[in-house]
Amino acid sequence: MERARGSIRATRLGSGLPATAAPRPAPRAAYEVADPCRPRGVVDHTLAKRQVVAGLRTSVAPGYDLEAHLDPDPYLMRAATHHGEVTERVCPWCSTPGLTHVKYAYGDDLGERAGAARGDAELREMAHQYGEFDVWLVELCPGCGWNHVHLTYTLGDGRARR
């Protein structure tokens, strides 16, 4: 069998099989978004929060991890200080007012900017710069340390980017 001039044949190390490129995911199709700053695909996690609070209060279910909801990560505490928005909402655990909301942005389009806490102004700016990304709104009580995901939603202009 004769190889064509200029062709390269490669093998995976140790396998003896021809090397193939990893399949690339198909690009998302662009879709029309009227207002990139308007949340869509909103998921409210209130029912899950109620279940966790009820389980913690009654201690019926041994599967609940008390520390996961009452011992916040130091990065979450720092993000609440710098990027958080103090609300009038009451903590479901200690009943003190002043829950702080912290918003995190995640998505393939964001690259290295994914996973960081963001303020409202920065999220509005990012909604016009990126096609699609998810925002996680976490509530945190600075007094007792209660923390739980409150809402998740999607922002972006819908134009697929590389």
Interval 113-159: pLDDT, tens: 899 999 999 999 999 999 899 999 999 998 888 899 999 999 998 88
Q: Is residue 74 part of a domain?
A: yes
Q: Is residue 124 part of a domain?
A: yes
Q: Is residue 143 part of a domain?
A: yes
| Alpha helix stretches (DSSP H) within the chain | 46-58, 66-70, 74-83, 120-129
Q: Is residue 7 part of a domain?
A: no
pLDDT score, position 12:
41
Residue carrying structure tokens 């009451």: 90
Q: Is residue 35 part of a domain?
A: no
Name which of 10-14, 65-69, 120-124 the model is least confident about.
10-14
32 pLDDT higher than 50: yes
Q: Is residue 70 part of a domain?
A: yes
- What is the arithmetic mean of pLDDT over 72-98? 90
**Residue environment code for 29-42, b if the CB has 16+ CB neighbours within 10 A, otherwise e:** eeeebeebeeeeee
54 pLDDT higher than 50: yes
Q: What would the two tokens of residue 117 be?
A: 């806490």
pLDDT score, position 10:
39
Specify the pTM: 0.72
The mean pLDDT of the chain is 79
**What is the span of the domain harbouring residue 122?**
40-155
Q: Is residue 23 part of a domain?
A: no
pLDDT-derived band at 3 (thresholds 50, 70, 90) equals very low
Judging by beta carbons within 10 Å of its beta carbon (0-12, 13-18, 19+), is residue 151 exposed, middle or buried? Answer: middle
- What is the arithmetic mean of pLDDT over 56-65? 62
User: How far apart, in whole angstroms, are the C-alpha atoms of residue 131 and residue 138?
Assistant: 23
**Bigger pLDDT: 44 vs 32:** 44
14 pLDDT higher than 60: no
Q: Using only C-alpha atoms, what is the Rg of the chain?
A: 23
Q: Is residue 9 part of a domain?
A: no
Our count of domains for the chain comes to 1
User: How far apart, in whole angstroms, are the C-alpha atoms of residue 21 and residue 94?
Assistant: 55
- What is the arithmetic mean of pLDDT over 62-82? 77
pLDDT score, position 34:
82
Residue 112 carries which side chain, given as an amino acid letter? E
